[in-house]
Copies of this chain bind each other. A is one copy, B any other.
Amino acid sequence: MAAERSWVPGAEGSGFGIENLPYGVVRPRGGGPPRVAVRISEFALDLAALGLRPGVFDQGSLNAFLRLGRSVWSETRARLREIVSIDSEPVGRALLPLSEVKTLLPIEIGDYVDFYSSLEHATTVGRMFRPEDPLPPAWRHLPIAYHGRSGTVCVSGTPIRRPCGQRAPGTADGTPSFGPEPWLDFELELGFVTGSGSSVGSGADAAAEDVIFGFVLVNDWSARQIQAWEYQPLGPFLSKSFATSISPWIVPLEALAPMRVPGVTRDPEPLPYLRVDRPWALDVELSVGLIPDRTEVETVVTKVNARGLYWNAAQQLAHATMNGASVRAGDLFASGTISGFEPGTQGCLLERSAAVTLDDGSERRFLEDGDAVVMRGVAGAVSFGEVLGRVLPAEC
Interchain CA distance A323-B238 in the complex, whole Å: 6
Which residues of B lie under 8 Å from residue A326 when comparing CB positions? 151-152
Question: Shortest distance in angstroms between A180's beta carbon and chain B's nearest beta carbon?
Answer: 10
Interface residue total, chain A, C-beta cutoff 8 A: 58
A168 to B: closest C-beta gap in Å: 7
With contacts A144-B234, A232-B137, A235-B233 taken as known, whether A150 is within 8 angstroms of B322 at the C-beta atoms is: no
Q: What B residues does A322 contact at CB under 8 A?
A: 164-165, 238
**A236 touches B (CB below 8 Å):** yes
Copies in the complex: 2
> Which residues from B are CB-within-8-Å of A172?
none
Interface of A, helix, strand, loop or mixed by DSSP: loop
Which of B110, B234, B323 makes the CB contact (< 8 A) with A116?
A: B234
A54: Cβ under 8 A from any B Cβ: no
Instruction: Please state if B234 and A141 are interface contacts (CB–CB under 8 Å).
Output: no
In the bound assembly, the distance between CA atoms of A395 and B201 in angstroms comes to 10
Complex interface: chain B residues within 8 A of A150 (CB): 110-111, 150
- Are the CB atoms of B161 and A324 closer together than 8 Å? yes
The B-contacting residues of A in range 132-159, CB under 8 angstroms, are 136-138, 141-142, 144-152
Query: Is A198 engaged at the interface, CB distance under 8 Å to the other chain?
Result: no
Q: Interface 1/0s, chain A 236-253, versus B by CB < 8 A?
A: 111101110000000000
Hey, which chain B residues are within 8 Å of A136, CB to CB?
A: 232-233
Contact B146 A237 (CB under 8 A): yes
**A324 contact set on B, CB distance < 8 A:** 161, 163-164, 242-243, 395
Least CB separation from A165: chain B residue: B323
Cβ of A320 within 8 Å of any chain B Cβ, yes or no, is: yes
